[in-house]
């Protein structure tokens, strides 16, 4: 039974990774077709850097992801602090507001925002091309905010309320107490919210697709346009490079996390 389960697990992982292997192989392929290997080459990688179009788009995506993550983390952390102080009906109301982007299908979120932007553009700013960096930023912050709140709130729950009292007894002003005592305790939640926002913003296609404009496009949106025609193999090269970059980042984060947990266990043992 146990063995069967393991074999099944291996098969499912193969299923998850098979298409990625196809793309890795495609990045070294001399032909354009993913299903026909016409010989080994590195020219796709050279193309990627020579023709800076994709690198530029990736730059756009990273820029947008940084702005979205910072803004969402700031607004979201403040919101979590505020929500934590709320009780009863108000709190339930605000939490259901937070839930809307989480349960709404992405396409509906994208469509609804594009309707708003185009409406405001036409009726208030009398412009037909309002869509661009700002509209993308607004959309991304909106769908990232709930995730920041959901990762900061549990840390606020765990927080011992007497910590703040102790800080103030020892002569801290409330603001000092917040920065010296509360914020460090919340930091893991804030950081994971920021990282989540960054990766979701970087990878988002569906919502961006409805609110991007010709003046500013992101990598996923442009990839979509290419998949309707012929995908240049240098995109597979970019996919491969990004895969290993993300893999390294994830492993590094895991190692740090594992070390932290071990340290904490030791601390509990020693106490």
Partner 1 sequence: MKTKALASPYIVWMLIFTIVPLAMVFYFAFTTNSGEFTFTNMARAAEYLPVLMRSVWYALAACVICLLIGYPVAYVIAQTSASWQRVLYLLVTLPMCMSFLLRTLAWVALLRNTGIINTLLAGLGIGPLPLIRNAGSVIMGMVYNYLPYMIMPLYTVIAKLDPRLIEAAQDLGCDSAQVFRRVILPLSMPGIVSGITMVFVPAVSTFYISQKLGGTNNTMIGDIIELQFKGSINQNLGAAMSLILMLLVFVSIWLMNRFTGEGDEGVATL
Binding to partner 1 in span 181-210, by CB under 8 A: 199, 203, 205-206, 209-210
Reference 146, options 195, 193, 82, 86; nearest CA is 193
* From 7-15, 45-53, 126-134, 185-193, span contacting partner 1 (CB under 8 A): 7-15
- The alpha carbon of residue 108 and the mean position of all alpha carbons in its chain are separated, in whole angstroms, by 19
Identify which range of 42-50, 51-59, 186-194, 241-249 contacts partner 1 by CB under 8 A: 241-249
Beta bridge partners of 212: none
Among 64, 76, 151, 233, binds partner 1 (CB under 8 A): 76
Q: What is the C-alpha to C-alpha distance for residues 141 and 199, in angstroms, rounded to an integer? A: 12
Residues in region 112-141 near partner 1 by CB under 8 A: 112-116, 119, 138-139, 141
Nearest Cα to Cα of residue 220 among 240, 249, 200 = 200
Shortest CB 114 distance to partner 1, Å: 7
Rounded alpha-carbon distances, angstroms, from residue 180 to 89, 119, 138, 255: 32, 45, 32, 27
Which of 4-12, 39-47, 49-57, 186-194 is the region at the interface with partner 1 (rule: CB under 8 A)?
A: 4-12
Q: Shortest distance, CB of residue 62 to partner 1, whole angstroms?
A: 14
Residue carrying the six token digits 């804030």:
190
> SS3 sequence, 222-241?
HHHHHHHCCCCCHHHHHHHH
Among 49, 227, 252, 256, binds partner 1 (CB under 8 A): 227
Pick the piece of the chain touching partner 1 (CB under 8 A) from 9-17, 46-54, 62-70, 184-192: 9-17
Least Å distance, CB 75 to partner 1, is 5
């Amino acid at each position: 039974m146990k063995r069967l389960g393991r074999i099944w697990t291996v098969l499912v992982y193969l299923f998850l990774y098979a298409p990625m292997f196809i793309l890795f192989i495609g990045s070294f392929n001399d032909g354009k077709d993913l299903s026909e290997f016409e010989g080994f080459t590195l020219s796709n990688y050279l193309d990627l850097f020579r023709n800076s179009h994709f690198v530029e788009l990736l730059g756009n995506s990273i820029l947008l992801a940084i702005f979205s993550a910072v803004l969402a983390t700031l607004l979201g952390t403040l919101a979590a602090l505020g929500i934590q102080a709320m009780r009863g009906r108000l709190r339930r109301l605000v939490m259901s507001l937070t839930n809307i982007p989480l349960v709404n299908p992405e396409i509906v979120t994208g469509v609804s925002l594009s309707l708003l932007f185009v409406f405001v553009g036409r009726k208030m700013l009398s412009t037909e091309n309002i869509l661009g960096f700002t509209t993308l930023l607004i959309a991304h912050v909106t769908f990232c905010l709930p995730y920041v709140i959901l990762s900061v709130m549990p840390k606020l729950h765990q927080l011992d309320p007497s910590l703040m009292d102790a800080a103030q007894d020892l002569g801290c002003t409330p603001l000092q107490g917040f920065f010296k005592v509360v914020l460090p305790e919340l930091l893991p939640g804030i950081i994971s919210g920021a990282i989540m926002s960054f990766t979701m913003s970087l990878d988002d296609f569906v919502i961006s697709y409805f609110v991007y404009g010709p003046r500013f496009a992101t990598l996923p949106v442009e990839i979509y346009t290419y998949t309707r025609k012929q995908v240049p193999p240098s995109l597979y090269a970019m996919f491969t490079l990004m895969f290993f970059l993300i893999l390294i980042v994830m492993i590094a984060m895991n190692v740090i996390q594992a070390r932290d947990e071990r340290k904490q266990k030791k601390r509990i043992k020693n106490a």
